[in-house]
């Protein structure tokens, strides 16, 4: 999956992954992170997620990383954010009150750029990757997240052979195999959400489960 795939999606506004409301799991389970006031939360592959606005409304700082420049431009415009812009070789930076957006390749991020985060939130990043690239993403995430930092992870699982991703199916077994070395993994909730997803129903997917996990980076 090349960067052009995602650039094309944003260019054509084929962004079914974008939610039009705050994710209910974030609202319900954010307290599990036990964050102090003004804590910084990392949101990988953030797009123009309204969840970032929710986090800033709760008094937190958001550090978001997004590949596509138009996604960031849309977010800043829609949220009517005043911002400053800077850049270096690999990234463009957009800074607004309580918000620091990094536009560029997630895989080029360096640990020092996340050295001050207090938590992280992944609703649509892990499930955006096919299997091989997902493993690379998980390894990079482990490299970036400081020891002791906790985050929320939302996944979807379904029979992958019945529907091509993204979003891609991520099972509990996959998480245990590929992420348990670096993260403590706690399942917080898992729900059958097939009836709420018309695309999966139309494609006759036999089942669809959505799960939310609490991850904690091991020392």
**Which residue stretches of the chain are H helix?**
3-11, 24-29, 50-57, 69-78, 131-144, 172-179, 198-202
Query: From the CB of residue 13, how many other CB atoms can be counted at a distance below 10 Å?
Result: 10
**Residue-wise pLDDT tens for the chain (219 aa)?**
566 664 566 566 655 555 678 999 999 999 999 999 999 999 999 999 999 999 999 999 999 999 999 999 999 999 999 999 999 999 999 999 999 999 999 999 999 999 999 999 999 999 999 998 999 999 999 999 999 999 999 999 999 999 998 999 999 999 999 999 999 999 999 999 999 999 999 999 999 999 999 999 999
User: Given this model, what pLDDT does residue 47 score?
Assistant: 93
**Alpha-carbon gap, residue 178 to 186, rounded angstroms:** 14
**Alpha-carbon gap, residue 159 to 146, rounded angstroms:** 34
What does each C-alpha distance from 104 to 7, 108, 190, 214 come to in angstroms?
A: 11, 8, 32, 27
Domains of the chain, first to last: 3-11+36-217 (3.40.50.150)
User: Given this model, what pLDDT does residue 102 score?
Assistant: 98
Residue 10 φ then ψ, to 5°: -70, -40
**Alpha-carbon gap, residue 84 to 70, rounded angstroms:** 16
Cβ atoms 131, 97 nearer than 8 A: no
| Total-model pTM | 0.93
């Amino acid at each position: 999956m090349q960067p052009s795939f995602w650039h094309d999606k944003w260019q054509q506004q084929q962004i079914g992954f974008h939610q039009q409301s705050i994710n209910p799991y974030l609202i319900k389970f954010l307290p599990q992170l036990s964050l102090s006031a003004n804590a910084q939360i990392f949101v990988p592959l953030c797009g123009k997620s309204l969840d970032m606005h929710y986090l800033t409304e709760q008094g937190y700082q958001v550090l978001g990383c997004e590949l596509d420049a138009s996604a960031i431009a849309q977010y800043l415009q829609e949220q009517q954010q005043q911002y400053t812009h800077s850049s270096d070789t690999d990234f463009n930076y957009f800074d607004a009150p309580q918000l620091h957006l990094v536009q560029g390749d997630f895989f080029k991020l360096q640990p020092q750029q996340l050295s001050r985060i207090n938590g992280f939130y992944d609703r649509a990043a892990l499930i955006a990757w096919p299997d091989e690239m997902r493993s690379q993403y998980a390894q990079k995430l482990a490299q970036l997240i400081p020891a002791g930092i906790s985050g929320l992870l939302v996944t979807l699982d379904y029979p992958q052979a019945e529907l091509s991703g993204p979003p891609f199916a991520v099972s509990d077994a996959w998480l245990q195999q590929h992420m348990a070395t670096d993260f403590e993994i706690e399942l917080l909730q898992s729900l059958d959400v097939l009836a709420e997803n018309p695309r999966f129903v139309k494609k006759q997917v036999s089942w669809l489960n959505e799960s939310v996990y609490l991850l904690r980076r091991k020392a």
